Amino acid sequence: MVHVYNCHPFASQQIVQVEQEPGLVCCGGGALFVVTTGGCKVEVYNLETEGCPLICRFASMGTVRRIQHSSIGDYLVTIEEKNSATYLRVYTNWRHQAEEKSRVGVRLLGHLLRGASVWGGVQMEIIEIPLSEHPVSLACCAVTGDLLVGCENTLVLFALSRTSSQTQDLSVLDFERSVILHLSKLTPKQVALCGGYVAVQAELEVLVLKLEATAEATGVEEPSDSFKSDRNQQVRRFKDRKSKNYPEEQSDFLLVPKHQELLGDRAGACDVPVSVEQTGLEDRRRYTLSYLLFRRFTPEFFQGCSVEETQLHSLQLHPVFTKIIPLSPGKQSASVDEPACMFCFFSLPNAGYLYSLRGGVELLSTYQYPEKVLQAVLTDHLLHVITRNALQSFTVRCAAAAARVEDPYIDTTMKACPPCSLEVCALRMQLFIGLRTLCVYGRHVVLLSTADTEAPEEAERHTQRRGLSRRWTISSPKETSPVGHGWNLYVVDTVPPITLYQEMVEYSQRYAETNPQGLSLRHLLSEAHLLLRSSLLESSEHRQTQREELEEAFRQNCAQLGDSFSRGGQKDYHLALPYYRMSGLSVTEVMSRNRPLPGSPHSYGPGFLFYLKNYLLEETDQSLSQEDADEVTRIFSQSEPSMLVSVCASPCMMNVDPAATLQILQRLEETAGEAVPLTITMATMMLRLGNMAQYTELMERHSEMLLVYGFIEEPRLLLHAGGGKRPQVCPTALAGQLADSQPGLLVAAMVALHENNKVQLEPADHVFKKTGTDVCLQELGCESSLQVDFWEAMLMASSQDAVIQELLFRLASVYIDRLTAGESPTQHKSLKSADDLISCCSHYGALYPWLTILNPAHASSYQHQEALHKLQSLLCGPSLSIGNVAPLLESLSEETLWGFSLHLLCATRRGQYGRSIERLLDRCPQAIIAYANHQLQDKHMALWWQKLLPELCSRTRAAADNGVLLGALKETLVVVAMETSPAEFLELLPDDGSASYFLPHLLTCAQRHLPA
């Protein structure tokens, strides 16, 4: 189905003052090329200047049958006939051919003559390109400037090259025959080339191929035998298939081919074999071929057309550019543009077809024409077609496909774009007389008309046909030129996209007045959206004012589409969210656009509610005014009461009236029943009202565990994530109150949120920094007690190794800071004592027995002793890495006994037992036996007699008051006597020792080793 809108795509028209009747017409590079009747003279007119003045004219070497211009290289290529022979010629530097007075150089392909090299920059050159077959069609690549020539059974690709002059700083264009594609069963009528894509059109068949250059080949190849044999085999297979299916006895019948459409990988199954012949001599690139699209049509008979007229025409490969890629150094490329999308268009007299080729082959649009179309040209904004007596424009879907390639956020809740499958529409028709040819350059549409006299029956048939298509809105017919001849050459300018957009908006207001939720209104707004997108996607840079005007129109259109989807039914209502986002409107502005009129039976639409719900669920810096916030609560209390808790928890609702909201929440509790998140929300409103008694009563309704579950269900009751300019999460007023009155609940809730992936560790730290009560510690850069309590609770709950190691390091740092900082009057008592952590958390180990001797209880305060015990417990535990915490311990002095205990504990964990024994005997020999009993076991048992016994003997002998050392020596001898043999024991005795002192231990040792 094709929608018809009475919009004016054309702004003005002018007649080109051509002296002789035009035969062929083409345009490009800002110029219009006219081949006069007879085909031996080319006139060039300036399309970009008012009145289209003549630029130059020059004679061709033969009768021009086909002509094409390439923007890359600015050259003309023609198929000419002379003396019953067909030639392919390229005209370069044609702009220097002014009034037929300049010199002209003629040379063969690849032959740079001396004169051509010297004068190549200041004279027109004609390059003769020899071919083994007659050329029938040609095409120039809009990306590289390469030339594709279609012959009867082959396609020849010529690569554009530039050769620098040796005598002057000039660049001479030339071509290299790169590759030949041999076709079977397909005679090209029209070809197209763009960015490596090759399209071939026969009478009722279209084949699209992708030609890619692979790695450089090595050595000189002779592919002629291989490709000929391969092609012959393919031809024989086709002939065998044809003879089997269509025997010669049926030659008297008209065989109609079956319709066939093969896309993507399936296109390789078509019965059109293609062979590749490598012919490049310089770059030695190898080409690989892949099938993309094959479509065969069955001839259709429709009103006014014969079998011969139902043939394909207007084949075109159309690129869409979205960005400019700079040339790499030394690259001899003719173009700096890289197409983001590639489209293929071709047409029957009654229908046109647009395919997307990149990212999967897909049929985007089918155009149904009201009359027989003679020619069609696809542009970024519109599809222009001509019938015998009218110029018609259709909308296109190229921008929809390109937007999805360029922007990965399209079709999400962030951005939206009308679908590629959106039905096309036709704009107002412009009448002419006897149209024959159509070509387009930018905003200029060039038409060639010939006022042929037609038979009465033909006139009647055209009159009937126009009567059958009254639904097409047409303008007044254009009068012919006052000149007496029966032909005219028109240049019709299309209106700027922004002007056509404004007309579409005005046109859509008619639908809005009659049916605000109608599909026609939405379709027309979508057409306007794609029209603006195509302008914004253009690679050519607009002037800043034009760009700003387009962007402002784009935002207005998004707002209009958002209104359409917000007020619509249940289908596609979710699209209101991305369109409103792209419009840049604030939530207040969106609410005002959707507010029902007084007395209107219509309420808020589902699209608006979906937008508002998602907006409130997001984290943003924008806060609604009290009036708007109160209106939001009323909206959801009527439409979706179950969302009220989430709505009230949104940071946007900071200014909501707590008293009015509390009444709404109380009514909700009466109807829906009591729920923990609802109770917490009501308590929050009571807190904002300053009613602490009611706040306490509400919070005491549920146990602490149920309150934690309520916070898991709605985390924003405790914290608001950073949005916009706010880099970190912020605690709510309720979180601040809990930090003062129920710190345990706040810690438990934050731990639960972290374990349920509702908040990360760093944002949670920020919450506790903001809610901490240790003001002086925060000013010094220290952690608050509540934050440390959170880390300790996290260490008990977390199972993530990375989080555990981070917490262990943080806690060790905090404990060391507390030990070095001394007593703080503002330091609060921790939620968990050292004994609680040792019994509840596996990362805290039981204190080694010898540490109790080094920790006199009377030497420090309770907080100092708790920090010491927690740090010692971490060092005794299995998880803390000593290598990570050892640099932190360097700040602790060993002058105090508790400081010495930490250093000794660290050295012991590192396995430095010998050095630890010496240090312990120096500072606290009372603990040596306890240390040895705990540490010197199993594989370290030998240290009793290898290290400890000799140290005790030498120190006892040297000490004046050796009571402690003698006691330790006795305990050591008991262990040694139990673990060694008599001979080993004797070897351990000192030479100058008293035998009577060691004799009892020797006797004990000997008795243990008596034979049984």
Q: Which of 143-147, 184-188, 536-540 has the highest mean predicted lDDT (pLDDT)?
A: 143-147
Structure-model confidence comparison of residues 571 and 284, the more confident one: 571
Q: What is the 3-state secondary structure (H, E, C) of 711-750?
A: HHHCHHHCEECCCCCCCCCEECHHHHHHHHHCHHHHHHHH
In the beta sheet, which residues pair with residue 27?
32
**Cα(396)–Cα(603) distance, integer angstroms:** 36
Pairing mode of beta strands 3-4, 425-426:
parallel
Backbone angles phi and psi of 811, in degrees to 5: -65, -40
DSSP code at position 528: H
Residue 465 confidence (pLDDT) above 50: no
**Cα(740)–Cα(699) distance, integer angstroms:** 14
Q: What is the mean pLDDT of residues 664-675?
A: 92
DSSP string, 618-629: S--S----HHHH
Contacting residues for 410 by C-beta, under 8 A, at least 6 apart: 403, 404, 416, 417
Tokens read off for 238:
């086709």
120 confidence band (pLDDT: 50, 70, 90): very low
DSSP string, 124-142: EEEEEE--SS-EEEEEE-T
Contacting residues for 987 by C-beta, under 8 A, at least 6 apart: none
**Cα(622)–Cα(608) distance, integer angstroms:** 18
For the stretch 236-248, pLDDT in tens is 544 454 444 444 4
DSSP string, 302-336: -TT--TTT---EEEEEEEEEEEEPPPPTT---S--
Which stretch of 401-405, 408-412, 568-572 has the lowest confidence by average pLDDT? 568-572
Residue range(s) occupied by CATH 2.130.10.10 in the chain = 3-238+257-495
Task: Please answer whether residues 299 and 210 qualify as being in contact, where contact means their C-beta atoms are separated by less than 8 angstroms.
Answer: no
**Cα(616)–Cα(238) distance, integer angstroms:** 66
Q: Give all strands of the β-sheet with 351-356 in edge-to-edge order.
A: 313-324, 337-347, 351-356, 362-368
Q: Give all strands of the β-sheet with 285-296 in edge-to-edge order.
A: 190-194, 197-201, 205-216, 285-296, 260-263
Mean residue pLDDT of the chain comes to 82
Tokens read off for 805:
């190691």
Tokens read off for 882:
């000593």
Helix (H/G/I), strand (E/B), else coil: 932: helix
Which stretch of 301-305, 319-323, 437-441, 479-483 has the lowest confidence by average pLDDT? 479-483
Return the closest-CA partner of residue 320 out of 394, 395, 403: 403
Task: Please answer whether residues 371 and 467 qualify as being in contact, where contact means their C-beta atoms are separated by less than 8 angstroms.
Answer: no
Percent with pLDDT over 70 in the chain: 81
In the beta sheet, which residues pair with residue 105?
125
Length of the chain: 1012
Q: Determine the pLDDT at residue 333.
A: 40
Task: Please answer whether residues 416 and 574 qualify as being in contact, where contact means their C-beta atoms are separated by less than 8 angstroms.
Answer: no
Q: Determine the pLDDT at residue 283.
A: 56
For the stretch 778-818, pLDDT in tens is 444 456 788 999 999 999 999 889 999 999 999 999 999 88
Task: Please answer whether residues 200 and 188 qualify as being in contact, where contact means their C-beta atoms are separated by less than 8 angstroms.
Answer: yes
Task: Please answer whether residues 227 and 275 qualify as being in contact, where contact means their C-beta atoms are separated by less than 8 angstroms.
Answer: yes
Return the closest-CA partner of residue 288 out of 278, 302, 300, 298: 278
Helix (H/G/I), strand (E/B), else coil: 903: helix
Q: What is the mean pLDDT of residues 604-631?
A: 88
Task: Please answer whether residues 372 and 305 qualify as being in contact, where contact means their C-beta atoms are separated by less than 8 angstroms.
Answer: yes
Helices (H), 584-713: 587-594, 606-617, 626-639, 644-649, 658-672, 676-689, 692-699, 704-713
Contacting residues for 892 by C-beta, under 8 A, at least 6 apart: 816, 819, 820, 899, 902, 903
Q: Which of 42-46, 99-103, 302-306 has the highest mean predicted lDDT (pLDDT)?
A: 42-46
- Evaluate if pTM is beyond 0.85: no
170 confidence band (pLDDT: 50, 70, 90): low
**Cα(216)–Cα(286) distance, integer angstroms:** 6
Nearest-10 Cα torsion for 942, 947, 950, 953: -100
**Cα(764)–Cα(798) distance, integer angstroms:** 14
Contacting residues for 488 by C-beta, under 8 A, at least 6 apart: 15, 448, 449, 480, 481
Residue 34 confidence (pLDDT) above 70: yes
**Cα(868)–Cα(871) distance, integer angstroms:** 5
Residue 721 confidence (pLDDT) above 90: no
Return the closest-CA partner of residue 434 out of 455, 445, 449, 453: 449
Return the closest-CA partner of residue 462 out of 394, 383, 393, 370: 370
| Burial of 702 (C-beta count, 10 Å sphere; 0-12/13-18/19+) | middle
**Cα(281)–Cα(78) distance, integer angstroms:** 25
Q: Residues 600-615, buried b or exposed e (16+ Cβ, 10 A)?
A: eeeebbbbbbbbbbbb
Q: What is the mean pLDDT of residues 875-879?
A: 91
Helices (H), 822-939: 834-840, 851-854, 862-876, 882-889, 897-909, 913-923, 928-935
How many contiguous H segments (helices) and E segments (strands) does the chain have? 34, 35
Q: Determine the pLDDT at residue 378.
A: 96
Q: Determine the pLDDT at residue 104.
A: 84
Tokens read off for 35:
């081949």
Q: Determine the pLDDT at residue 678.
A: 96
Tokens read off for 366:
């089918």
Q: Determine the pLDDT at residue 590.
A: 93
Q: How far is CA 338 from CA 196, 319, 417, 492, in A?
A: 11, 9, 23, 30
Structure-model confidence comparison of residues 474 and 831, the more confident one: 831
**Cα(86)–Cα(634) distance, integer angstroms:** 81
For the stretch 448-463, pLDDT in tens is 998 764 544 444 444 4
Structure-model confidence comparison of residues 216 and 658, the more confident one: 658
Task: Please answer whether residues 934 and 849 qualify as being in contact, where contact means their C-beta atoms are separated by less than 8 angstroms.
Answer: yes
Contacting residues for 317 by C-beta, under 8 A, at least 6 apart: 139, 192, 193, 194, 195, 197, 199, 342, 343, 344
Q: Determine the pLDDT at residue 474.
A: 34
Tokens read off for 732:
């709510």
Residue 343 confidence (pLDDT) above 90: yes
Q: Determine the pLDDT at residue 339.
A: 84
Q: Determine the pLDDT at residue 300.
A: 66
327 confidence band (pLDDT: 50, 70, 90): very low
Q: Does domain 3-238+257-495 have CATH number 1.20.1250.20?
A: no
Q: What is the mean pLDDT of residues 52-70?
A: 91
DSSP string, 914-926: HHHHHHHHHH-GG
Helix (H/G/I), strand (E/B), else coil: 406: helix
Return the closest-CA partner of residue 950 out of 978, 930, 921: 921
State the amino acid at position 69 in one-letter form. H
Structure-model confidence comparison of residues 1006 and 336, the more confident one: 1006
753 confidence band (pLDDT: 50, 70, 90): very high
For the stretch 499-547, pLDDT in tens is 999 999 988 888 777 666 667 888 999 999 999 999 888 755 556 778 8
Residue 616 confidence (pLDDT) above 80: yes
Q: Residues 28-41, buried b or exposed e (16+ Cβ, 10 A)?
A: bbebbbbbbeebbb
